[in-house]
A = this chain, B = another copy of it.
Amino acid sequence: MSIRVGIYGYGNLGRGVECAIKKNPDMELVAVFTRRNKESVEILTKTAKVCHVDEVESMVDEIDVMILCGGSATDLPVQTPKLSKLFNVIDSFDTHAKIPQHFANVDASAKEAKKVAIISVGWDPGMFSLNRLYANAILVDGKDYTFWGKGISQGHSDAIRRIEGVKNAKQYTVPIEEAVNAVRSGSNPELTTRQKHLRECYVVAEEGADKARIEAEIKNMPNYFADYDTTVYFISEEELQRDHAGLPHGGVVIRSGKTGWNDEHSHTIEYSLKLDSNPEFTASVLVAYARAAVRLNKEGKSGCKTVFDIAPAYLTSMSGEEIREHLL
């Protein structure tokens, strides 16, 4: 019997999950839950239904795992604890400083309901975290580096859009090649924020807006831009739609470290992603962990987990024999 999946929230990530489910023949999309008027939401999967979020309790017997596709700022802190009382759940919570609190909240409700909840799934946090852990466990004496991009940062794009006189904007985070190469060489450099990434902003200004002021406001914005070398390009809305409509992203995690009785040998472990679509890749990771959540729950497990707690074999539809034969 296939794994019956629900999608809670139907933005870019929810649509990505829908596409990923189509690629996994052992999984089936049952329903998409929306806060909008459900008649206004059209989905791609003809065999699935659209439900209002208020209907979620009526679906507990029809869904094996719910994939939560809301945002980390206000949606997931409420939704994941709440829905893990009803379903096995997966989320992509990425507000790093709040993970311990979120973990504790979700763990309490999932344990009480005897459900499995896997939080902070995706690529960072997610696959990048896993690679940091594996690399740290192997090269105990070493140093970690993470570079992001080249890719669109939604948070930084939104920050620019909030500036007066800005009609639209896209911001690319770009890793600085010299820094990446210095790390790859194994020299374990100390790098400042400015030395690791630069920021490229494509901005559509409103008619008659003061571009010099907009540029200065961007470049001096604390936390978001002030610590980086930032370049601002003013372009037309047409150019923005034509050249910057996608959501590419990626990045690299590198650990280099020493082994040997006298630290005589160096090693470098590198994991990198090049993604055409950040939400679709994130969604593909969520779906693999959704399979794991259902399996673990069938074994009687419950509570909150992260990617660190899941044995890799749980992620694939292949059997133990198959993965030992084909992938080991």
Task: Say yes or no: is A265 at the interface (Cβ < 8 Å to chain B).
Answer: yes
Q: A140 — nearest CB in chain B belongs to which residue?
A: B23
When C-beta atoms are compared, the residue in chain B nearest to A271 turns out to be B271
Q: Is A127 an interface residue (CB 8 A)?
A: yes
Question: Are B269 and A139 in contact, CB atoms less than 8 angstroms apart?
Answer: no
Contact of A309 with B by CB under 8 A: yes
Which of A171-179, A194-202, A315-323 lies at the binding interface?
A: A315-323
In residues 135-187 of chain A, which contact B (Cβ within 8 Å)? Answer: 136-141, 184, 186
Instruction: Contacts A19-B260, A285-B138 given; indicate if A324 touches B311 (C-beta within 8 A).
Output: no
Partner of A270, one of B19, B271, B315: B271
- Given A137-B288, A325-B100, verify A267-B272 contact (CB < 8 Å): no
Do B311 and A310 touch across chains, with their CB atoms under 8 A apart? yes
Q: Which of B125, B261, B281 contacts A19 (CB 8 A)?
A: B261
Which A94-148 residues sit within 8 Å CB-CB of chain B?
96, 99-100, 103, 120, 125, 127, 129-134, 136-141
Partner of A259, one of B19, B186, B264: B19
Contact of A324 among B103, B127, B139 (CB under 8 A): B103
Q: Identify the 3 closest CB pairs spanning chains A and B, nearest first.
A: A265-B276, A137-B315, A259-B280
